Chain A
Amino acid sequence: KQEVTQIPAALSVPEGENLVLNCSFTDSAIYNLQWFRQDPGKGLTSLLLIQSSQREQTSGRLNASLDKSSGRSTLYIAASQPGDSATYLCADYNQGGKLIFGQGTELSVKP
């Protein structure tokens, strides 16, 4: 059974700092891995999708990497801003396309 774990559960950083969020998964035979952002009480916003044949994806200040052999993905946020404060979720695509989510990392960026 695929399990997805995110560490840390919560993170507080000062504005401007670069940071890394971690995601690990137990089954290396994943199809895709997707990172989401969730603001309190809201739905999920897709940030980056890494297909299994890829090693990383970049969008603006965000960079996500995927290492299937070690069962890890990281989300790198450069020059963090208070507007980045949210919960970040990673999810692994199971066979059939359903997503298996981690519990999320709650990020707080202090001005």
Chain B
Amino acid sequence: DTGVSQDPRHKITKRGQNVTFRCDPISEHNRLYWYRQTLGQGPEFLTYFQNEAQLEKSRLLSDRFSAERPKGSFSTLEIQRTEQGDSAMYLCASSYEGGSYEQYFGPGTRLTVT
């Protein structure tokens, strides 16, 4: 296992379009997190899953955002009707509950909304 992977690495879309990102965590990790990072800022928490259950969602996650982890393995983050303010780096991380909770991050998906 080579770590957390994310796809695509870059996405350019026009305002109003829908986009979907995928995250594949480290295989034995049961927790999966999504964060958003804008230029010059630290990442901000969006949501997290334990297995397939979505346990917490940030107020940043508006109704246009939805995340799933259907089989407790990979996760998808969908943004509907994208806005220019959605332009950011979307980061995924995974960890193992019962350990130190140390989170391992993927390379991120850079979204640009034109």
Contact = CB atoms under 8 A, between A and B. Distances in A.
Contact of A43 (B41, B42, B95, B106): B106
A43 B5 CA distance: 10
Contact of A49 (B33, B48, B97, B100): B100
A96 B55 contact: yes
Contact of B45 (A42, A43, A100, A102): A100
A46 B44 contact: no
Interface in A47-101: 49, 51, 89, 91, 93, 96-101
20 contacts: A32-B100, A41-B110, A43-B108, A44-B43, A44-B93, A44-B105, A45-B105, A46-B103, A49-B102, A89-B43, A93-B101, A97-B31, A97-B97, A97-B103, A98-B48, A98-B56, A99-B33, A99-B35, A103-B41, A104-B42
Given A91-B42, A97-B95, A102-B42, A46 B48 contact: no
Q: Do most interface residues of chain A lie in helix, strand or loop, or is the interface mixed?
A: strand
Interface of A: 4, 31-32, 34, 36, 41-46, 49, 51, 89, 91, 93, 96-104
Nearest to B102: A49
Category for how many chain B residues contact A: 20 to 34
Interface string B74-114: 00000000000000010101010100111111111010000
